Structures are given as structure tokens and as C-alpha cells.
Structure 1
Amino acid sequence: MPAPHRLPPPKGVDSQGLLVREGSLGLVPAAFRPVVDAARERLPRVFGERLDSAYLYGSIPRGTARVGRSDLDLLVALRDGPRAADRAAADSLGDALDREFPAVDGVGTLLYGRARLLSEAETHDLGWFVACLCTPLLGEDLAERLPRPRPDSLLARETNGDLALLLPRWRARIAAADDRPKARRPLVRFMSRHLVRTAFTLVMPRWGGWTSDLAEMAEVFGAYYPERADAIRRAAVLGYEPAGDPGTLASYVDDLGPWLAGEYARVHGVKTPRED
């Protein structure tokens, strides 16, 4: 199928077609600088000499965060693999930052060992994530040791080719969730964003570029799959403004998610299994 004429030209790549890094500390909005500064100050105290490097990702370093609506996303690379105590310490730090700084609506921290981030197996998944979607905050920038990939089918497969494996976990999380709308909203936001990003990377190689804007992701996808365009556009809206509707969650795991997982496997294949 040829690319539709109404699509915007691809962006997020350089003249050689390689993905470029998005975000920078200079783009952090003024309202979020205090919480970013606090994270930079406290992370070394939490992890000590085991801290290798730390990064921001998401809307805050892209300069698109909304006060009181956006969360602070952190990735921490440790000198060895993370332990259970590290997860507890990261959660405690996130809870404290969330309480103290009303500009953010939650704090999430990804923890990985340095060796895994630099491993060949993660080149087109976590390695790409660090090299292109993470903004250095502390320590050595591991992106200098990582290649910048192209927005091709290999990248698509290794980033989001595991949706079929995730859906049973999503069903379990939905079943275990508190029945109040307030408790379901985080699930709607998380699953909406994941589905939109998966839908976008399904067509990313055809478009030939990258964007992290959910609305733009939905529009690019919809140009290639008009029969599913409205569902992904709605998911993009809920990714920013989630509502705790149980019907939305049911549609994700019973209809949209299974269809997307099947089409993804047909077009790009299934993500290479990881040891963990």
C-alpha cells in the first residue's frame, strides 16, 4: 500500500535516515525544573556508588509536559543488575518527589544494569531507548556507546513485538484493580499509551520517521489503517486524559489489543525472547 498523500513528511531522523535523539535538559519547562533538580540531587544518595547513570524521558525533557497532569519519568542504570531493595528504594524516592512537587502527577523509575543496556540483545530495544528517547541527567551518557538505529522493521519488532505476551498480564491487572474509576484511570492511561505506540511502530517503517506525540502517532497509523483509526485516536486522547471506564479496558484486551498483536506479528514478527 503506498503512503497516503495526506501524511506529514517523516521527522525524527537525520540526513542518513538514522533516528535522532529527542529531548534535552534545556527543554524542561520552568515549572518542572525543581523536581528534576531534586531527582538529580537525591539519586546518588539512594543508590550510592552503584549508580552508573540516570536519565529523563517522556514529556518533561521534550518540553511538552503539563503542570499537574504529567508524570516524571526516570531511567536509572546501575553498575550491576537491580535488586529488590533497589526497586523499593526507587519507589520510595518517587513517592517522596510526587508528594513534594505538585507540578508532577506521579513519578516512575525504570531500573536496569549497565551491562544489559549495552548488550547486543537490547540494541534495538533498551539500547535504542537510551540512545534516542532518554535525556542524560547524571553520570556517563551510555548513548555514546550505542548505535542509532533506523526506523525499520527490526526496530519495530524488537520494541513492541511482544503485545500478545502482555495481554494476559493486562487482563490480570484489570481483574485485580480496585473497582473505583480513580483506581482504573492509571490503567487506562498506561494501556492507552502502550497501544498507541504499538500501533504507530506497526507503520513506522512505512512512514520512515519517529514522533513521541500520541496524537501524531495516531494520525500516522490511521492513514494506513483507516478501519482502526478512530479506536487509536480515542486511545491517544485517553493517554492524556484517562477516564476510569471499565468498558475501555475490556475493549483493549478483548478487541483492539488482540487485533493489533496479530497484525504486528504478521507484518514484523514477534520480539526475540529475553532471558527475564
Structure 2
Amino acid sequence: MEHRGLDTYGYFEREGSLGQVRGDFVPVVAAARERIGEAYGRRLHSAYLYGSLPRGTARPGRSDLDLLLALHQEPADEDRDTAEVLAHGLDEDFPVIDGVGILLYGKDTLLSERERHDLGWFLACLCTPLLGADLAEHLPRYRPDSLLARETNGDLAVLLPRMRARIGAAATPEEYRKLCRGFSRHLVRTGFTLVMPQWGGWTSDLVESAEIFGQYYPERAAQMRAAASAALDPVEDPAVLRGYVEDLGPWLADEYTARHGTKTPRPPL
């Protein structure tokens, strides 16, 4: 029987581990652990690694370092400034990575009922503990159902205007490349979670995600495969981004709402 990222009871198995981090990336992960502890001290509850590094699929010089930090209190401006300095320093000191992303939340937010099927699920199923006590111990187990689909990616319609604004403000090839990588990833993951309950499993592999989506929407399969390719090898062509917000994105948002409903609104940042 195909595994599909679930245990024998149909619950998500936590993906990734520190043991899967490939040799080239071990020094940067060790440095991240040390620097996070030094930078946040007692303010830090726990830290997590996610993405291609703990899955063992990272590519030297091409993959970014993704971190989730849980603080005892809600993050203040000082904490965000610290994260920015931390990310810049790691990116500068370790050419093996191409960028650093740090998500910063208070532990009460991560454990809240509102975030139970979004950030909570993300931490419990897709994040690898790096420092501190694991908050996943306080979270439930998860299945690939419509509620999870709605609460993870059921806000694409809300995000599209922001995407359009960011594309309109971009001017340099590097800005277009960065937006291409981020938007492509988001669309592929949204396309996958659209069909996740039908498929009955989980994958974080973007190419596989696009192929699974294409089984259910063959008329959009080529677009999603192209988005997966652009997520892995971003392009600097603004026409690709315009296609996302003028065609694929709006269609996907409408289909998602029709199938799973809309994500529970969050207060404005």
C-alpha cells in the first residue's frame, strides 16, 4: 500500500529530521541553532527547521534556510529586527544557502484554537525541532481533510490583490526572481491542498504536488507543472507573474472556495 506521508491510522507523519540534513548544510544548521539561542535568550521558547533542509532534498547554492521561532510572548519590533539581522548574517556567512526565511510567532498564537489547522498543523507536521521544548506535544494529530485544506490555503482570493501590488512595485530582475519563487511555491501548494482530501495523503515535493493536482485537473496540469518548475528555478520574466495573478491564481481561488470554503479571517497585521 502506498505510504503517502500517513501512518497506519491515516494521520500525518511528521516529515523531516535533523538526521536527514545533508553534510553540506550541517554547519549552517549548527550556526543557526547557536545564533538563535544567543540572539533571543530567555525570550525564545523553541526553534524549528522546515523545508528542504530537514527533508534532505536541499540543493547547495540553490535552497534557502527556513526557520520558525516560537517566543514566550508575542514578537515585538525588537524581535523582528533581531530576526532580520540573524537572517542576513546567516545568508552572508554561508554561500551554501540562497536566502534565509524566519517565521516569528508567540507560542500562544501557535497553540491557539484559531491556528489549530494552520500554524499549529504546520508546526506539528512540517517542522523539525531545533531548540527548546517541542510545542507539537500540545497539538492534536491531523488528517488530510477538507477542514485542513480550508484553513491552510483557503485565503488565496484575499492574497491575490497583495500579489498584484507586489508585482506592480517590482522593478529589478532579482525582485522578479524572488517573487517568482515565492508565488510559484504558493500556487503549487495551494493546487495540491485543493485535491489533498481526494488524494488522501501529503507531500511537500513541488513536482509531485503538481503531478497529483494534474490528475484531477488535467486542463490545468501544464500550468501547474510550469509553476513547480519556476518554484525550483525562478525566472525573471514579469509575464510569468502576470499569468499567475490574471489567470491561474483567480481560477484556483474560485475553485478552492467552491470546494472547501474560505479560511477563517485573521486580524490585520
Specify the TM-score bucket, using the shorter chain as the normaliser: over 0.9
1:258 maps to: 250
User: 1:90 and 1:263 mapped to 2: Cα distance?
Assistant: 36
User: For 1:118-168, what per-residue CA distance to the aligned partner results, in whole angstroms no more than 9, with x for missing partners?
Assistant: 111111000000000000000000111111210000000000000000001
Secondary structure at 2:98's aligned position in 1? coil
2:173 maps to: 181
User: For 1:14-60, what per-residue CA distance to the aligned partner results, in whole angstroms no more than 9, with x for missing partners?
Assistant: 11111110000000001001110001001122112110000000000
Q: Kindly indicate whether the alpha-carbon contact (under 8 Å) linking 1:10 and 1:210 is maintained by their aligned counterparts in 2.
A: no
1:43 maps to: 36
Secondary structure at 2:140's aligned position in 1? coil
Q: Kindly indicate whether the alpha-carbon contact (under 8 Å) linking 1:22 and 1:62 is maintained by their aligned counterparts in 2.
A: yes
1:81 maps to: 74
1:246 maps to: 238
Aligned counterpart for 2:90 among listed residues 67, 92, 97: 97
User: 1:164 and 1:10 mapped to 2: Cα distance?
Assistant: 32
User: For 1:200-244, what per-residue CA distance to the aligned partner results, in whole angstroms no more than 9, with x for missing partners?
Assistant: 000000000000000000000000000000000000000000001
Deviation (angstroms), 1:248: 0.4
User: 2:204 and 2:148 mapped to 1: Cα distance?
Assistant: 15
Deviation (angstroms), 1:10: 5.5
- Give the 5 Å matches for 1:145-184: 145-178=138-171, 180-184=172-176
User: For 1:239-273, what per-residue CA distance to the aligned partner results, in whole angstroms no more than 9, with x for missing partners?
Assistant: 00000111000000111000000000000000011
Q: Kindly indicate whether the alpha-carbon contact (under 8 Å) linking 1:154 and 1:268 is maintained by their aligned counterparts in 2.
A: yes
Q: Kindly indicate whether the alpha-carbon contact (under 8 Å) linking 1:20 and 1:132 is maintained by their aligned counterparts in 2.
A: yes
Gaps of 5+ in 2: none
Q: CA RMSD in A?
A: 1.0
Aligned counterpart for 1:113 among listed residues 76, 81, 106: 106
1:217 matched to 2:233: no
Instruction: Write the letter of the residue equivalent to 1:176.
Output: A
User: 1:257 and 1:73 mapped to 2: Cα distance?
Assistant: 25
1:196 maps to: 188
User: 2:242 and 2:267 mapped to 1: Cα distance?
Assistant: 30
Secondary structure at 1:66's aligned position in 2? coil
Q: Which moved more, 1:168-177 or 1:54-63?
A: 168-177
Aligned counterpart for 1:128 among listed residues 118, 121, 126: 121
1:15 matched to 2:18: no
Secondary structure at 1:77's aligned position in 2? strand
1:5 maps to: none
1:3 maps to: none
- Give the 5 Å matches for 1:136-151: 136-151=129-144
Q: Kindly indicate whether the alpha-carbon contact (under 8 Å) linking 1:151 and 1:208 is maintained by their aligned counterparts in 2.
A: yes
User: 1:177 and 1:78 mapped to 2: Cα distance?
Assistant: 33
> How many positions carry a matched residue from both structures?
268
User: 1:66 and 1:190 mapped to 2: Cα distance?
Assistant: 17
Q: Kindly indicate whether the alpha-carbon contact (under 8 Å) linking 1:27 and 1:61 is maintained by their aligned counterparts in 2.
A: yes
1:272 maps to: 264
User: 1:237 and 1:16 mapped to 2: Cα distance?
Assistant: 33
Deviation (angstroms), 1:75: 0.1
Q: Kindly indicate whether the alpha-carbon contact (under 8 Å) linking 1:10 and 1:207 is maintained by their aligned counterparts in 2.
A: no
User: 2:243 and 2:68 mapped to 1: Cα distance?
Assistant: 31
Secondary structure at 1:108's aligned position in 2? strand
Secondary structure at 1:121's aligned position in 2? coil
Gaps of 5+ in 1: 1-7
1:24 matched to 2:53: no
User: For 1:69-114, what per-residue CA distance to the aligned partner results, in whole angstroms no more than 9, with x for missing partners?
Assistant: 0000000000010111211110111111001001000001000000
Secondary structure at 2:114's aligned position in 1? helix
Q: Percent identity?
A: 65
